[in-house]
Amino acid sequence: MGSTSEFSRRDLIKRAAALGLVAVPAMSALSACASGGDDDDAKPDKPAGGGGGAGEMKPLKVNASAPLDVVIFDGGFGQQYAKDAEAEYKKAYPQAEIKHTGTQDIAPQIQPRFNGGTPPDLIDNSGAKQMDLGTLVGLKQLTDLNALLDAPSLDDPKKKVRDTLRPGVVEMGQFDGDEVWVFYYAYTVYGVWYSKTNLEKLDAQYPETWDEMLKLCEKAKKKGIAGWTYAGQHPYYIPFSLYPFIAKIGGTEVLDRIDNLEPDAWKHPAVKAAFEAYYELYKKGYILRGTAGLDHIQSQTAWNEGKALFIPNGSWVENESKKMTPKDFRMAVGAPSSLDKSDKMPFGTLWASGGEPFIVPKNAKNAQGGMELLRIMLGKKSTQNFIKAVSSLTSLNGGTEGLTLPPGLASSQEALTKAGRNVVNPRLQDWYVSLQKEKIGKAALGLMMDGRLTPDEAIKKIQKYTDDTRKDDSVKKYKHK
């Protein structure tokens, strides 16, 4: 049951690939348009050449002397990985001048440039102040990245970039049609994060069932350790383990209906069961005192200090909390525990999806260059550099060979292998940002986990917010295919 969407996802890849073949001529016309744009001062695209070693492929017909303007979100992953890739670009195109900007203020800094028609060539549109992707797509402000996906990959010219990626990544960047507007460079594994060392101190393993989870929390409580903590000021971290839990209980179609903003989507029994299970953590006093007042860094710190065993989070946490994490912490991620035997999906069902959305604006002066930089970033050298530097996976399938992975990343890798096809990818947080963060997160889930709302009240409230969003015609709507 749960794997139906997975099949369609695979079909999609095939279909998209086929379409890609047919659409190659159209694509090059499109991309020419993108770089030319409506700017008068854009230089005509010269065929590749100029610097770089002879015989090197330049499949994207990059203008070797055109300057490249890159904006990188300076968050959990920093910006060094991008600078390193830019150095590679510079090696291939020595005449190109590269302007690099690192910022946390993506929207306030970049939005005016979109508006003025002079956007950068490549943007890592991430963080709390990311620009709304749905709106950018709706306004036709982005370049279709199929040209990049159909270009040969950096390491194996016989393979297209598209064929070197993890499943689901390309589809995440699509909205209505077959165009790929967004490319997710990082690959994030969401779930219940814990310390193997701290569990061993309690003679415990990661609990595979909810009963074991409750028992373990009880045991910890007796020793004065809380079972769970979460980013109380950012309660939209709770879904990182709660949504896959819902999917596990009721199947992925429950999440799909939630993403599609269907009426009564939240009233599904699986949602209620999952909410009640989490609410029990509060009722039994298994949540770290004061959690509701902690932000993400503060809650991660408390967790690193061993004050709580579990925290819902994404795989960026290993890099983000590096300075706080004790040496023998042995960070690991667990998939949601099973509620009971009637769960629709097996233990191991996990939320994993692309992170760090990269976009190439339509009016970029050097859109080809922006895509070329992405192609370089997807090469083995840059990928491994990223993995080593920030301990996160990338969208390149593999790339970890020969690397000694830090514990959290190794555990993400293991969890992915174990999940196999049972990977879910709820889209609420990409499609409806304020619904997910402020309404569901801060105005419902956060209050429920703090005992201010019962699960029934929380569901009712969330359903109402969902209905409001569905009826709000100023919000662009998306649907699972």
Q: Which parts of this chain interact with another protein (CB under 8 A)?
A: 107-108, 111, 114-117, 128-132, 134-136, 139, 141, 232-235, 288-295, 298, 302, 307, 433-434, 437-438, 442-443, 446-447, 450, 452, 474-475
Nearer Cβ to another protein (405/443): 443
112: Cβ contacts below 8 Å, ≥ 6 apart: none
Q: What's the min distance (Å) between Cβ of 111 and another protein?
A: 6
Counting Cα atoms < 13 Å in the Cβ hemisphere of 51 gives 14
Nearer Cβ to another protein (65/109): 109
Nearer Cβ to another protein (135/205): 135
Nearer Cβ to another protein (56/468): 468
- End-to-end Cα, the chain, rounded Å: 16
Q: What's the min distance (Å) between Cβ of 393 and another protein?
A: 27
The CA distance from 335 to 350, in Å, is: 5
Q: What's the min distance (Å) between Cβ of 71 and another protein?
A: 15
Nearer Cβ to another protein (136/151): 136
Nearer Cβ to another protein (94/451): 451
Residue 295: CB atoms within 10 Å? 12
21: Cβ contacts below 8 Å, ≥ 6 apart: 150
Q: What's the min distance (Å) between Cβ of 131 and another protein?
A: 7
Alpha-carbon dihedral of residues 358, 363, 368, 372, nearest 10 degrees?
-20
Q: What's the min distance (Å) between Cβ of 264 and another protein?
A: 22
Separation of CA 415 from chain center? 16
Distances (CA, A) of 117 to 114, 121, 134: 5, 12, 18
In the block, which residue shows the tokens 């074991």?
212
Nearer Cβ to another protein (27/458): 458
Q: What's the min distance (Å) between Cβ of 261 and another protein?
A: 16
Amino acid making up residue 127: G
Residue 54: CB atoms within 10 Å? 5
Q: What's the min distance (Å) between Cβ of 474 and another protein?
A: 6
The CA distance from 432 to 209, in Å, is: 32
Q: What's the min distance (Å) between Cβ of 446 and another protein?
A: 5
Say if residues 367 and 35 touch (Cβ distance below 8 Å).
Answer: yes
**Torsions phi, psi for 357 (to 5 deg):** -75, 120
Q: At what angle do helices 269-283 and 455-471 cross, to 10 degrees?
A: 130
Nearer Cβ to another protein (10/442): 442
In the block, which residue shows the tokens 């070329």?
372
